[in-house]
Amino acid sequence: MPAIDSSNRLSKLRAIAAIVTAVLFAKVLFTILLEYRWYFPPDFESSVFLSGRRPSFVGVYRAAFYAHIVSGPVAVMLGAFLMLTGGRLRYLHVHRIVGRSQMLIVLVVVVPSGLVMARRAFAGPIAACGFASLAVGTALCATAALYCVRNRRIDEHQRWATRCFLLLASPLLLRLVAGAVIVMQLESDWFYRLNAWLSWIIPLVLYETWSRNRASNRIEQYNGEVSNH
């Protein structure tokens, strides 16, 4: 009984942590969307992101910027829906339609526009390489998820789809950390460069660690059941 109570308590704590994290990221996403009022039309005085970008906010970069800020949140919200409905038979048909739509948006709009914007990232080439690597990694994860599901390798599909979602949602973590650093008055160019990398590397590392531990626990549980029989 104590073991069961402990397991139930841990499950409840995980559920609470997941809810708190979801609410926090929803708030960050809302804050990001609220800034869009400075983008249509571009207000180079009021917008923090557009500040100082008037000379370069033309041509391909301007088109990539608008494509990215419109497609990015849509891809994240579709990804959240896919994460919630994955593996549930009652949502299978809708899941497939939404998944195909998300793949199209990610590979055709989000990734290419992200690569264009990365070239002019604030704080120089180190940050630019971080954001470009994020875009390439997102494309690879999305492609792998699509390949696996077409070949009915569902477990692998779920893992690659989760990685893709984490990369798509990483700008929310970037903004969250950046906001905290600004409040603490610790912002700097070097922090921005680090954040351009760590905001997506850390979630991936945490997921891979959790995934491997989960797989290891399942093997131990299976071996224990076999030995008992």
Measured between alpha carbons, how far is 20 from 180 in angstroms, rounded to an integer?
17
Predicted confidence band at 164 (pLDDT cuts at 50, 70, 90)? very high
Long-range pairs of 137-140 with CB within 8 A, sequence gap ≥ 24: 137/167, 137/200, 138/106, 138/110, 138/111, 138/114, 138/164, 138/167, 138/168, 139/106, 139/107, 139/111
If DSSP codes are grouped into helix, strand and coil, which group holds residue 40? coil
**What percent of the chain has pLDDT above 90?**
48
Reported as a single tens digit per residue, the pLDDT across 68-100 is 999 999 999 999 999 988 878 888 899 999 999
By the 8 A CB rule, do 130 and 197 touch? yes
Least confident range from 68-72, 155-159, 187-191: namely 187-191
Residue 13 has pLDDT above 70, yes or no: no
Mean of pLDDT values over 103-131:
93
pLDDT given at position 228: 59
pLDDT given at position 226: 54
pLDDT given at position 157: 94
Instruction: Of 16-25, 111-120, 165-174, give the range with the top mean pLDDT.
Output: 111-120
Residue 213 has pLDDT above 90, yes or no: no
Mean pLDDT computed over every residue of the chain:
85
Least confident range from 121-125, 154-158, 207-211: namely 121-125
pLDDT given at position 23: 78
Residue 10 has pLDDT above 70, yes or no: no
- 47 CA to centre of own chain: 23
Measured between alpha carbons, how far is 90 from 77 in angstroms, rounded to an integer?
20
Instruction: From residue 100, give the alpha-carbon distance in Å to each of 47, 78, 83, 160.
Output: 34, 10, 14, 15
Q: What is the pTM of this model?
A: 0.84
pLDDT given at position 90: 87
pLDDT given at position 11: 60
For helices 59-85 and 2-34, give the axis angle rounded to 10 degrees. 150
